[in-house]
Amino acid sequence: MDTARVAAEFQELYGAAPDGVWAAPGRVNLIGEHTDYNDGFALPLALPHRAVAAVSRRTDGVVRVHSADIPQGVYQLGVDDLVPHSENPAADNGGWAAYPVGVVWALRAAGHPVTGADIHLRSTVPTGAGLSSSAALEVVTAVALNDLYQLGLSPTELAVVAQRAENDFAGVPCGVMDQTASACCVEGHALHLDARDMAQRQVPFDLAAHGLQLLVVDTRVKHELGDGAYAERRTGCETAAAALGVPALRDVRYEELPAALERLAAAGQSETIRNYTRHVVTEDHRVEQVIALLDADDVRAVGPLLNEGHASLRDDFEVSCAELDLVVETATAAGALGARMTGGGFGGSAIVLVEVDAADAVAKSVTEAFAAAGYTAPRVFPAIASRGAHRVA
Ligand code: ADP
Ligand code: MG
């Protein structure tokens, strides 16, 4: 995206050049889904798609935000008037504006002297597609304010601030993976994240060197039941952990899974709760397996693990949907090495691991299957492991 354009738009809007311009990407998660809020593992990579924000600091306590992608004017409010959703669920936090404004609130709540900002942004991350357009908005705001106010926070600390903005200010109970991916990813790498202590390792992820490609298939559907179902899954996982006497499901070792499932049954926990447990424990294990394969340069062998992950999300965690299942079935039947839904589920995107030579044919099969099913045409593009948030001007 042309960053000079975003700066020029800022100047037009606010009447002065911005202090700087920053970018923060969306992400796909290779493996490790619905594990972050169980203190577990994930393996996301940043996309080339990103939010770009031109930002200036202000000293008068005023925050103004504007998005070129939304047909709304400038949203303005005072830093002392920010009320998080967690304190007042009825508070109007500006809809989309709650994401960037929430970062101002979260920084101030953590004691940082942020005295206002003018923000204009524009994003190429598809919204509501499970590619973390919301995290890109938060993280781009966080890195900008971190620089402008010389707060000295690390990318990991900024990710935690951004998550707090989304959880407490916007009232969306997401885990920490999305913001960490947007803030901390490195070009050509996937990010091994331990959501318990935020420990990270950059895992080399150079598919082109292996003649491979990772396709993103955005189904362009977002089923409404997603929000309530997400909260229900989180509660279910907490119930399972409490019944097993562990802080989080991450503490159930893969080898202990059969015994843990028996204990849950003996304690009268439902089949649903046991299935959630099986998903989380096997998914954490799949992250470790995928990382071992990447470290051994055995990238093609990752394919079957993606398929297993999808089956687990579909059958045990019950967060897939007909469109995502169709992507996975069609792509694998057309010769893909593996495929799975990515992100929270109930719509959004799937990822497909393919030989470069087969990418077009696989994409065509999926597109034709969608047309035959009467679905909206999906968007298909390659996921190129890109860099995390940074200053661009
Ligand atoms: P995802 O993060 O998977 O894209 P979410 O529902 O978490 O989906 O976030 C999407 C929301 O983020 C949008 O509904 C909108 O409120 C906000 N958003 C994302 N990108 C933009 C943008 N470029 N301009 C304004 N708001 C945006
Ligand atoms: Mg989001």
CATH number of the CATH domain containing 50: 3.30.230.10
Structural domain contains residue 376: no
- In a domain, residue 63? The reply is yes
* 186 falls within a domain: yes
Q: Is residue 227 flagged as an active site residue?
A: no
What is the SS3 assignment for 49-104?
A: EEEEEEEEECCCCEEEEEECCCCCCCEEEEHHHCCCCCCCCCCCCCHHHHHHHHHH
- 10-residue stretch averages of pLDDT, the chain, 393 residues long: 93 98 98 98 98 98 98 94 86 86 98 98 96 98 98 98 96 94 98 98 97 98 87 97 98 98 98 98 98 98 98 98 98 98 96 98 98 98 98 98
CA of residue 131 to ligand 1 center, whole Å:
10
**Which residue among 6, 74, 96 has the greatest number of ligand 1 atoms within 8 angstroms of its CB, and so is best to mutate?**
96
**Residue 290: per-residue pLDDT:** 98
**Any domain includes 289:** no
142: in domain: yes
| 256, 277 contact by CB (below 8 A) | no
In this structure, is residue 99 part of a structural domain?
yes
pLDDT at 94: 75
Task: Report the nearest-CA residue for atom 8 of ligand 1.
Answer: 128
Q: What is the number of the ligand closest to the CA of 347?
A: 1
> Would residue 280 count as lying in a domain?
no
Q: Is the whole-model pTM more than 0.95?
A: yes
Domains held by the chain: number: 1
Query: Quick check: helix, strand or coil at residue 382?
Result: strand
| Closest Cα to atom 26 of ligand 1 | 96
Q: Give the residue numbers spanning the domain of 175.
A: 3-205+386-391
Supply the DSSP string of 188-204, one letter for each residue: TEEEEEETTTTEEEEEE
| 14 is a domain residue | yes
Q: Which of 219, 218, 215 is nearest to 336 (CA)?
A: 215
ipTM over 0.85: yes
Q: Which pLDDT score is estimated for 225? A: 76
Neighbours of ion ligand 2 (CB under 5 A): 134
Residue 142 CA: distances (Å) to CA of 107, 203, 216, 246, 318: 8, 25, 27, 34, 34
Buried b (16+ CB within 10 A) or exposed e, 42-76: bbbbbbbbbbbbbbbbeeeeebbbbbeeeeeeebe
- Which two tokens mark 137? 């908005």
